[in-house]
Structure formats: C-alpha cells, structure tokens
Amino acid sequence: MRIDFLASDVARLKLRFPAGEKVKFKAGQYLQVLLPDGQRRSFSMANPPHQNDGAELHIRMLEGGAFSHWLAHDLKVGDHLRVELPHGDFHLREGSTAPIVMLASGTGFAPIKSMVEDGLRRGQAREIALYWGARTEKDLYLLDLARGWGEQAGLRFVPVLSEPEAGWSGRTGFVHQAVLQDHDSLAGHQVYACGAPAMVSAARSDFVETRGLPPDAFFCDAFVVAQPRTSALTD
Ligand SMILES: Cc1cc2nc3c(=O)[nH]c(=O)nc-3n(C[C@H](O)[C@H](O)[C@H](O)COP(=O)(O)OP(=O)(O)OC[C@H]3O[C@@H](n4cnc5c(N)ncnc54)[C@H](O)[C@@H]3O)c2cc1C
C-alpha cells in the first residue's frame, strides 16, 4: 500500500493485491474497503482493468470521516487493507457507436480515468467529450494527464471551474452547465456522470428534460456518503 497526496484534500492510495492475485473488473467499477469495526466505504478504481494486480484509489479526505481519519493517521505503507471487489454497474456500454459525454466532479474523475485509459489502450474509436469540474485549478488534481488525453484523436477535454482564481482562462460555472452550453441536443448520445450526488442529479434531469437525452442513455455513480453507523444502547 502506498499513499501520496494529489491535492491538499485528495489522497491517492495504491493497493497491491497479494502476490499472484489478479482481479477482474470493468473500467468504472468500485471496491469496498472494510474498516476494522466492520463498516464499509466505497471507492472507484482509477486504474484500468489491464492493471489488475492492484487498485489505485482517489480519496477525498473528509473532515470527521472514519476512513479519511484512518488513512490520515493510522495507515502506513505496507499495511494490509481488506477490500471487496468488483462492485457496481457504472461501465462503458459497448455495442454502440453513439458519441459519449463524460462528466466528473472532483474525485468522480477516478472511474472516468479508468474508462479513458481502458479505451485508449483498446483503441476504441467513439467520439468522447470529457468535462471535469471542480472549484479551483488545484482541485483538478491530474489536470496535465487529462490535458494529454485531449490531444488524442477523438477526445475533447473541457476543464470547468466554479470558483476560478485570477488567471484562469478556461470554462467557468458548474460542470453540467458547460455540457448544456455546448450541446443543443443530446439525443443520440450516451452520458456517463460521476461524483457529487447534486451534480449527477442535476445533470440527469437537465439533460433528459431539456436536451432530449433518453433516460436509459444516462449512466452514473453518485458518490453518496456512507450511512454513519448508529449504535443502540439497551437498558
Ligand atoms: C459507488 C461509490 C463510489 C465512490 N467512489 C469514491 C471515490 O472514488 N473517491 C471518493 O473520494 N469518494 C468516493 N465515494 C464516496 C465515499 O464512499 C464517501 O464519501 C465515504 O462516505 C467516505 O468515507 P469516510 O469514512 O472518509 O467518511 P464517513 O465516515 O463516511 O463520513 C462522511 C461525512 O459524514 C460526516 N459524518 C460521519 N458520521 C456522522 C454522524 N454520525 N453524524 C453526522 N455526520 C457524520 C463526516 O464528518 C464526513 O464529513 C464513492 C461512493 C459511492 C457510493
């Protein structure tokens, strides 16, 4: 296990599976970390499936969060972590030639990274527009990597900041609004959205209601916070 920080509040955790163990998963899926007290936390794999001897996670460090606290204060390089995978239904739907809109907010970039790197490796030919939103430029914690993808044929990368600092010449506002500005119609597209639940929900309703996106062409993972465990006392 290795940990480094990609931004002040985003940790990258690299896990290596036990020697010789390869795990099959689809780009976009997630794993669950089992905490020592039995609680579970969900995090998406940021590595593509062909890198199957471990998992790369991008973790937003939450004030007061159980796993965030454990990661910041207790876990050390070389420690063992119990994980369960794969989980989830967020993955690229093959068998379609529809152009793709991907949108991510914050660490919602993790599964999108896995999907893009998987697609680049397999030489997939569909047109992709990738929108990544965050508050400030440093919150786009792998901006150079994503800009590099934007130089590949068929992939357009659009970073969007909601609280840009002076000097930012790129797009501003909420990430799903940038998609609305760029597309009069989303009929005939597939949309893959990942990150903050409010963003995912606004994107779904606006794209379907105002841009003609068929509801079954919207795929998402909303990063809902785990239900805090409550304990009951008996008397
Ligand atoms: C499918 C899926 C994939 C995900 N992938 C990612 C990912 O790749 N990267 C990522 O960063 N996140 C991801 N998430 C979100 C992540 O799982 C949650 O944010 C998770 O809850 C964080 O765990 P934590 O233990 O650090 O914080 P938690 O302990 O879950 O706490 C979360 C927040 O709730 C507050 N809280 C905790 N207990 C209480 C309480 N009793 N009362 C009031 N408030 C409380 C905490 O202060 C904190 O701000 C994903 C979620 C889902 C569902």
Element (H, E) at 45: none
The CATH number for 68's domain is: 2.40.30.10
| CATH number of the domain bearing residue 148 | 3.40.50.80
119 and 189 in a single domain? The answer is yes
Indicate if ligand 1 lies below 6 Å from the C-beta of 62. yes
The protein residue whose alpha carbon is closest to atom 31 in ligand 1 is: 65
Beta bridge partners of 15: 55
> For residue 18, what are the domain limits?
2-87
Of all atoms in ligand 1, which is nearest to the CA of residue 44?
8
Q: Which atom of ligand 1 is nearest the CA belonging to 87? A: 1
Residues contacting 170, CB < 8 A, separation 6+:
158, 159, 160, 161, 164
Does 78 share its domain with 16?
A: yes
Nearest CA to ligand 1 atom 50: 223
Residue linked to tokens 């916070």: 225
Nearest to 127 by CA among 189, 65, 58: 189
Question: Is there a contact between 213 and 191 (Cβ–Cβ < 8 Å)?
Answer: yes
**78 pLDDT above the threshold of 90:** no
Q: How many domains does the chain have?
A: 2
One-character DSSP codes across 84-104: EEEE-S-S---S----EEEEE
Query: Which of 87, 111, 146 is the last residue in one of the domains?
Result: 87
pLDDT at 230: 52
Question: What angle, rounded to 10 degrees, do the helices at 197-211 and 175-182 form?
Answer: 20
Question: Is the same domain home to 160 and 211?
Answer: yes
Residues 116 and 210 in one domain: yes
Whether the per-residue pLDDT at 233 is higher than 80: the answer is: no
pTM for this entry: 0.95
What is the tens place of the pLDDT at every residue in 118-147? Answer: 999 998 889 999 999 999 999 999 999 999
Distance of CA 159 to the CA centre of its chain: 14
Measuring from atom 51 of ligand 1, which residue has the nearest CA? Answer: 223
pLDDT of residue 56: 98
* Helix, coil or strand: residue 197: helix
> What is the average per-residue pLDDT within 70-90?
93
User: Of the residues 87, 114, 148, which one is the last residue of a structural domain?
Assistant: 87
What distance, in Å, lies between the first and last C-alpha atoms of the chain? Answer: 43
Q: What is the pLDDT, as a whole number, of residue 235?
A: 42
Rg, the chain, Cα only: 18
Residue closest by Cα to atom 47 of ligand 1: 64
Q: What is the pLDDT of residue 155?
A: 93
